[in-house]
Amino acid sequence: MHVHILGIAGTFMGGIAAIAKAAGHHVTGADRNVYPPMSDQLTALGMDFMQGFDADQLDLRPDVVIVGNALSRGVPVIEEMLNRGLPYISGPQWLAEQVLRDRHVIAVCGTHGKTTTTSMLAWILEHAGLSPGFLIGGVAANFDVTARLGKAPYFVIEADEYDTAFFDKRAKFVHYRPRTAVLNNLEYDHADIYPDVAAIRWQFNQLLRSVPAAGRVIVNANDSNLAATLAAGCWTPTETFALSNADWSARAEPGTAHRRFEVLARGRPAGVVDWPLLGEHNVMNALAAIAAANQAGVEPAHAVRALSEFRGVRRRMEIRGAADGVTIYDDFAHHPTAMRASVRALRESVGNARIIAVVEMRSNTMKMGVHREQLAESVADADLCWFLAPADLGWELSAALSMLGERAHCTSTLEGVLEGLGQLLRPGDQVLIMSNGGFGGLHAKLLAQLNARTGT
């Protein structure tokens, strides 16, 4: 079958492309601004893709068009698809019908930590010799790809609550019908889709309605929104994870920045994870992954050994380089809770070294100002911060950061960020760049600027 994928360069749709090709389909696709890492993955797979959404690409005469959720009515290829009466389907529905139907699906959900937890879980199953299929919203260093078909019965999927397609406004994850569901956390996000957190809880409850009684729900014991979601209806046995007082818990070794911690399975020691990842939030992610892997028959002690070989995920506190004594990190954090966790984890690791947090106000929720009252606190553990925001933001960013005083700087241009950082950076500084986009290539530009200072 010839499938043509609209939005093929997104991490999710690019994963669909890889799985479809592995399943024996002829795959073509299109997107705007195709760039690494997805362009590299698509090229490595020998995938034919084109730039843009012109109508004439449908002259390829695909058997079905898989439509990404970034496309909407008015886009030329969408209008032509509808006018021609071509068969079309969303990515989540195609995956559910063509791949997941006969699999034990393990879905990882939550506002934060989905990509990292999914990557950990897939690696644990891989380490145990189970060769799982997976679809991840990022590139795990242990795999170097975002998706693969894998072998039955297990398929691990990063299951997000964003809407499915322009013709299907249900959350993506309701299509997956998992046997094991991991609920990491639940906060208000996607303000362009949902009016309030109650609307997101409702979507999570729709997911729970599809998890069988013979399955399992792995849930963060300390999240009040998840507790409310379960109270609204859950027909599946649950297991909890938390740093303490849960079925799956942990004891971090002091002074290790959570790089070493003992895992407790129902109160019994299961081993010590020793890895390069930082922060309490990653310990929580690990506990969720270990608990979910146990549902696939992987003993906790084996999961602990696997995680000690886990190398992380690109763009999650990833060191992009160092120059003139300054270390540059790339982090995907774009919600105040995630930003706060990243800054605190780095602080725990580098001690008194100066941390400069650099934030791109890029997500729709951030630009709408939904979390403006949490912004200052999210970077409070940094010594200085720079925020890049559109000039027409519509609300006063500097006022939201006023409690930080002279530690906070705002600009509407990338050049302003580079100039400001160029004037203040000194050897020993730790620059944490946080964005869910490419930040205009800031990481490479900043490293080049620092190298120029030393003549290298």
pLDDT at 41 over 90: no
d(CA 156, CA 172): 15
137-156 residues labelled b (16+ CB within 10 A) or e (exposed): bbbbebbebbbbbbeeebbb
- Report whether 408 contacts 385 (CB < 8 A): yes
The CB density around residue 265, as the number of other CB atoms within 10 Å, is 20
What is the rounded average pLDDT of the residues 438-449? 92
Share of the chain above pLDDT 90, in %: 83
Q: How far is CA 192 from CA 12, 167, 188, 227, 448, in A?
A: 19, 16, 11, 25, 36
pLDDT in the model for residue 315: 87
pLDDT in the model for residue 438: 85
pLDDT in the model for residue 52: 94
CATH 3.40.50.300 fits 318-454, yes or no: no
pLDDT in the model for residue 124: 98
What is the rounded average pLDDT of the residues 333-339? 91
Share of the chain above pLDDT 70, in %: 99
* pLDDT single digits (tens) 230-260: 999 999 999 999 999 999 999 999 988 899 9
Please give the angle made by the CA atoms of 109, 114 and 116, to the nearest 5 degrees: 150
pLDDT at 81 over 90: yes
What is the rounded average pLDDT of the residues 71-92? 97
Maximum mean pLDDT: which of 11-15, 207-211, 451-455: 207-211
Which band of pLDDT confidence, cut at 50, 70 and 90, is reported for residue 220? very high
pLDDT in the model for residue 37: 67
CATH 3.30.590.10 fits 99-307, yes or no: no
User: Which sequence spans correspond to the domains of the chain?
Assistant: 2-91, 99-307, 318-454
What mean pLDDT value characterizes the chain? 94
pLDDT at 182 over 90: yes
pLDDT in the model for residue 47: 82
pLDDT in the model for residue 444: 93
* pLDDT single digits (tens) 342-384: 999 999 999 999 999 999 999 888 888 888 899 999 999 999 9
* pLDDT single digits (tens) 405-438: 999 999 999 999 999 999 999 999 999 999 988 8
CATH topology classification for 2-91: Rossmann fold (3.40.50)
What is the rounded average pLDDT of the residues 200-215? 96
d(CA 64, CA 154): 26
pLDDT at 35 over 80: no
Answer whether 2-91 and 318-454 agree in fold. no
pLDDT at 138 over 90: no
**Upper half-sphere CA count for residue 122 (Cβ side, 13 Å):** 35
Element (H, E) at 247: none
What is the rounded average pLDDT of the residues 271-282? 94
- Report whether 69 contacts 164 (CB < 8 A): yes
What is the rounded average pLDDT of the residues 256-270? 95
Please give the angle made by the CA atoms of 421, 343 and 348, to the nearest 5 degrees: 115
pLDDT at 456 over 80: no
